[in-house]
Amino acid sequence: MEVFELTLADLRRALRRGDLSAGEATRACLERIARLDPLLHAFLYVAAERALAEAERADRRLRAARRSADDLPPLLGVPMAVKDVLVVEGMPCTAGSKILEGFLPPFTATAVRRLQEAGAIVIGKTNTDEFAMGSSTENSAYGPTRNPWALDRVPGGSSGGSAAAVAARLVPAALGSDTGGSVRQPAAFCGLTGLKPTYGRVSRYGLIAYGSSLDCVGPLARTAEDAALLFALLAGRDPLDSTSADLPLTLPDLEAASTSRPLRGLRIGVPDEYFVAGIQPEVEAGVRAAVEALAGLGAEVCPIRLPHTEYALPVYYILAPAEASANLARYDGIRYGPRLAGASPQEVMARTRGQRFGAEVERRIMLGTYALSRGYYEAYYAQAQKVRTLIRRDFEAAFERVDLIAAPVAPTTAFPLGAHRDDPLSMYLEDIYTLPANLAGVPGLAFPVGFDDQGLPLSMQLMAAPFREDLLLLAAHAYQQVADWHRRAPRLEGGAPQN
């Protein structure tokens, strides 16, 4: 079997057995990146020499451990990629923006550091919508990423580079961030398993902030088993992040998925509000078929209501831009990145921000500043916070009746590049099913459940009560024992992906 065909868990086992060296795995990833990434543009930076040096050190440690039976870090020698909104010491970090071009961070994000301490090799930084503001990775100042399943389609956003890299088997797994769906929607469009943890479950230290009350760091992988392995390493209290939760970690019992009815006793709710006019029929059919499969594994399925779902989109596009307008004030041409000349500090700031921010970032800064301005704060921002509370209470009420909520991830499969370029509202509507989980702070997991008639992946998301990621991962893993959608891969041969 080729290295690129191995899942994260398979690769980890092969390295420990000695069937494969970390150097061989890393070189295989680098060769595949060099050959295929020109088609995809998934990476903004590849740290080839650094990765090979780390692989050599990992191999020395692997060889020594086989002789002495020492315990090994769980990801020792495994190459991975990181979305370019998470800082890594010594690697450029742009957040997909010209305003941070050339910025070299002096420290490493906690989430990345935890994977490095577990032995993972960060092979490079992946493309993203500028400051994670987008649903297609077309807003990157460095050019769009393409979907490995169809090069004329978007990979989703804003973690589209990470998703494309994993889907094309350039790396076995990658980190992304999710503020309104930016892990789950790219996972859906690229046929992957993507986890948005509970807000506070994974440290945000070293994550370039977009919406501080919404941002989450999460893994993109091929299987629920891989996502569970990464989640176990990422989660936990971080003294450098005051919003991180100091709660015990409940991990899924994936061995239980091998029983005949592994989901017996699990209650799954299906909200009517997530199946409305405008949804692609194949998306709805795929989700409902997957729900039936979960029922066949022992789950009890029942209809539920989330009555304030229709307000999630306007609430999000008041609150997230408001937080962004404050967070992005620090990019002033003085402290970070390039500086355009001016006769005064004010002119330097105006010229740098005016020419180095992209159109979507400027749009959201203006929306947020307006919502926070005198005379409009109570009418917009304060009111949106009240409705956010109602959305959260909808989920609290639902989770008194059910353990999981099943829903689509997006209204359609991956749309063509440029389809929403001139219509921001239509682009915002792509996140209509993912935004509520961020507003409520609950975890969500996307995973593949089929393909449409154009060969594009279909996906479903499950949501759970806060800090019950174990239920999401168990249910998805059980489903992946009876379905093979997650095993299918795009074949990028001659520039034309085929499934």
Specify the 3-state DSSP secondary structure of 316.
Answer: helix
Q: Which of 136, 162, 177, 182 is catalytic?
A: 182
pLDDT at 349 over 50: yes
pLDDT-based confidence at 359, cuts 50/70/90? very high
Name residues whose C-beta falls within 8 Å of residue 364's C-beta, 6 or more positions apart in sequence: 133, 320, 321, 324, 325
Q: Is residue 242 flagged as an active site residue? A: no
H or E element, residue 290: helix 281-296
Bond into 344 cis (ω within 30): no
Residues 302 and 318: their CA atoms lie apart, in Å, by 33
Q: Is 383 exposed, middle or buried (0-12, 13-18, 19+ CB in 10 A)?
A: middle
Compute the average pLDDT of residues 5-29.
97
Q: Is residue 325 flagged as an active site residue? A: no
Q: Which of 21, 158, 162, 203 is catalytic?
A: 158
| DSSP-assigned states of every residue in 20-88 | S-HHHHHHHHHHHHHHHHHHH--EEEE-HHHHHHHHHHHHHHHHHHHHHT----TTTT-EEEEETTB--
- DSSP assignment, residue 235? B
- What is the per-residue pLDDT for 499? 42
pLDDT at 494 over 80: no
Which stretch of 3-12, 161-170, 488-497 has the lowest confidence by average pLDDT? 488-497
Compute the average pLDDT of residues 222-226.
98
Q: Which of 21, 83, 162, 203 is catalytic?
A: 83
Domain over 3-311+387-498 is classified CATH 3.20.20.80: no
- What is the per-residue pLDDT for 406? 98
pLDDT-based confidence at 454, cuts 50/70/90? very high
pLDDT at 378 over 60: yes
Residues 32 and 53: their CA atoms lie apart, in Å, by 18
Of 427, 487, 437, the closest CA to residue 201 belongs to 437
* pTM of the complete model: 0.96
Residues 119 and 287: their CA atoms lie apart, in Å, by 37
User: Domain residue spans in the chain?
Assistant: 3-311+387-498
pLDDT at 10 over 50: yes
pLDDT at 5 over 90: yes
Q: Is residue 83 flagged as an active site residue? A: yes
Name residues whose C-beta falls within 8 Å of residue 24's C-beta, 6 or more positions apart in sequence: 3
- What is the per-residue pLDDT for 260? 84
H or E element, residue 126: strand 121-126
pLDDT-based confidence at 497, cuts 50/70/90? very low
- What is the per-residue pLDDT for 68? 63
Q: Cα-flanking dihedrals φ and ψ of residue 280, to 5°?
A: -65, 125
